[in-house]
Amino acid sequence: MDELLQALKTLNAELRRDGIVLNLNIVGGFSLFLQNLDIEIRQSHDIDAMSRLTDDVRQRVKNIGEELNIDLRWLNDDVLSLYDEFEFAGIHPEQLKFGPNSRIDFSNIHLKVIDISDFVRLKLFSIVTEVYDFMQYNKSFDREQDLRDIETIVEISDIDYVCILNSITSHVQDNRYTDVTRSLINTYLDSPLTTSQINEFLKANRY
């Protein structure tokens, strides 16, 4: 996390020098850090922005990554490529809620963070998609971190993840894999599984 903060400080200094202001809507694990939650949150290795980066910003990010010897895409907008899939699952990106972060403030980088319920919504979407790929294309499930994130949020909030999951899966015609997804999440919340155990669970419940 310290490396990402240093990278942001370096980027902010460059933008301030050049008179550029950057507005970012942050999703993913780094958004939890920005919300200053009083829990042990996993270390994030990059910053996911639901804001399109200009070519100039991309180059600055790459240069800073090289300078600090970190991921060259430590700040990215990859999540924007999922818009069509979001719509398929009934998630409308323009309706996602973002608010001010309560942790850090920069002069030329304005960071907003995704609402915690929408954070869970996107995590559940990733899990549903991963289960579908496992069932349809025999791809290994590797979203254990998303399950851990949901477990953490459920423990410290009153988020109704079941209601959110139902709103996502209601847009899917094949109920077989949505039932497996519900079963996987409930099993994980009762007793966390390793990635290997998750894949064995899915194999045992393959339809």
Asked if 121 and 106 sit in the same domain, the reply is: no
Choose one of 114, 145, 164: the last residue of a domain.
114
CA angle in degrees (0–180, nearest 5) for 38-42-47: 105
Q: Closest by alpha carbon to 177, among 127, 140, 108, 142?
A: 127
Q: Closest by alpha carbon to 49, among 66, 61, 64, 40?
A: 61
What average pLDDT does the segment 92-105 reach?
90
Asked if 21 and 107 sit in the same domain, the reply is: yes
Asked if 145 and 121 sit in the same domain, the reply is: yes
Scanning the structure block, which residue is given the tokens 């942001």? 8
The predicted-structure confidence for 46-85, as pLDDT tens digits, reads as follows: 999 999 999 999 999 999 999 999 999 999 999 999 887 8
Quickly state the pLDDT bin for 186 (edges 50, 70, 90). very high
Predicted pLDDT of residue 56: 98
Q: Which domain covers residue 62, as residue numbers?
A: 2-114
- How many structural domains is the chain composed of? 2
What average pLDDT does the segment 138-162 reach?
90
Q: Are 109 and 12 in contact (CB under 8 A)?
A: yes
| 160 pLDDT above the threshold of 80 | yes
Choose one of 114, 142, 165: the last residue of a domain.
114
